[in-house]
Amino acid sequence: MKRYELIVPCHFGLETVLKREIIDLGYDVTEVNDGRVTFIGDAEAICRANIFLRTAERVLIKVTSFRAETFEELFQGTKAVGWDEFIPADGKFYVTKAAGIKSKLFSSSDIQSIVKKAIVERLKESYHIEWFKEDGAAYPLRVFILKDEVTISLDTTGESLHKRGYRKLTAKAPIAENLAASLILLTPWKSERILVDPFCGSGTIPIEAALIAAGIAPGVSRTFTAVDWPNLVPVKEWHDIREEAKEDEDLTVETDIQAYDIDEKIIAAARENARLAGVEKLIHFQKRGIDQLRHPKKYGFIITNPPYGERIEDKENLPDIYKNLGKQFKNLDAWSLYMITAYEEAERDMKCKAEKNRKIYNGMMKTYFYQFPGPKPPKRVV
């Protein structure tokens, strides 16, 4: 089976988490750059990566790379590719995204136009036709130019992988599903440990935790662009990998995942999202303010995305919110706290100093993942 160089973008600052996921799937990572991880894989790897990766944005097949400082070089470099190996005669192909960074070519619309024209000219020669109906499957392309080095890729995913399909109802400023999963995987939390999100919003962090606990693959119930590419990925591969994923699910797992929010309507929305994800029985939802955050047991985890001025009207409330969070956390016995926020004064208001602080870009917003790890529980005597 043909092997491809597969590029997997992710949130900036979370490349190490994605790299570990890819290695855990059994593939060798060949390159790690800002916001992307590259590995070698075949058609099965394309299916497996789309269905199983929790922290990725999408899975791209790298078609070509070459240097271009002019539009003529961009045209000729693109035209030199054997595009008929990837796109059938009836394929609908288009450049869905183009970007140039630190390059002489930077106009997205011009890059898109030149690349499309070059592919058309090459396919005219390959298929000996002058007009393409483009009434078949979609083959979206992405062009990325960094320091005049052009990379053209086919997007096997389509709608971003963070869209699992369960989040129909959202609160303000919801955290992306793949970002929530990344944060959880950055912590030592395991399914047998307590997890509380006191600012659950749409329920994304608790739901992603429940999916991890139950072994539910994030992409098992959604579709992908490459499902319609039998010329590159046999339909049987998708069927076999989905069946494998379903066999790994275990909804009988015992969990103590709790989701709180002060707004009853938001709690109702989060509960519905959990139902759609199939994990509502693994999460306890409750209307509860931060001042009511307490738990009788030890060694629990708080993993949360508290307000930081984006989803509340009055930023003047922020100091009190973080003050209460710090106070309640200190009252919990031997707990750990992990939170992502763009609020610069979080540690000051909480009166807590994080042991670690990781910078993560949530889209274009710079955020910080504050980590306050607590003591490890004693090992159980067998």
28-62: pLDDT as tens digits: 999 999 999 999 999 999 999 999 999 999 999 99
Q: Taking 50 as the threshold, does the pLDDT of residue 382 lie above it?
A: no
Q: Taking 80 as the threshold, does the pLDDT of residue 170 lie above it?
A: no
> Model-level pTM?
0.94
Looking at the chain, the whole-number percentage of residues with pLDDT higher than 90 is: 91
Looking at the chain, the whole-number percentage of residues with pLDDT higher than 70 is: 96
Nearest-angstrom CA–CA distance, 93 and 85 = 13
Average pLDDT of the chain, as a whole number: 94
Neighbours of 52 (CB within 10 A): 20
Nearest-angstrom CA–CA distance, 297 and 162 = 33
pLDDT classification of 315: cutoffs 50, 70, 90: confident
Q: For position 317, what pLDDT does the model report?
A: 86
Contact 126, 86 (CB under 8 A): no
Which of the 8 DSSP states describes residue 83?
G
pLDDT classification of 174: cutoffs 50, 70, 90: confident
Select from 4, 12, 82, 76 the least CA-distant residue to 46.
4
Q: Kindly report, residue by residue over 122-166, the tens digit of the pLDDT.
A: 999 999 999 999 999 999 999 999 999 999 999 999 999 999 999
The 3-state DSSP composition of the chain as helix, strand, coil percent (nearest 5) reads: 35, 25, 40
Q: Taking 70 as the threshold, does the pLDDT of residue 381 lie above it?
A: no
Give every CB contact of residue 56 below 8 A, 6+ residues apart in sequence: 8, 9, 10, 18, 21, 49, 161, 178
Q: For position 185, what pLDDT does the model report?
A: 98
Give every CB contact of residue 380 below 8 A, 6+ residues apart in sequence: none
Q: What amino acid occupies position 227?
A: V
Q: What are phi and psi of 38, to 5 degrees?
A: -115, 140
pLDDT classification of 8: cutoffs 50, 70, 90: very high
Select from 11, 35, 8, 34 the least CA-distant residue to 23.
8
- What mean pLDDT do residues 325-349 have? 96
pLDDT classification of 172: cutoffs 50, 70, 90: low
Q: Kindly report, residue by residue over 259-301, the tens digit of the pLDDT.
A: 999 999 999 999 999 999 999 999 999 999 999 999 999 999 9
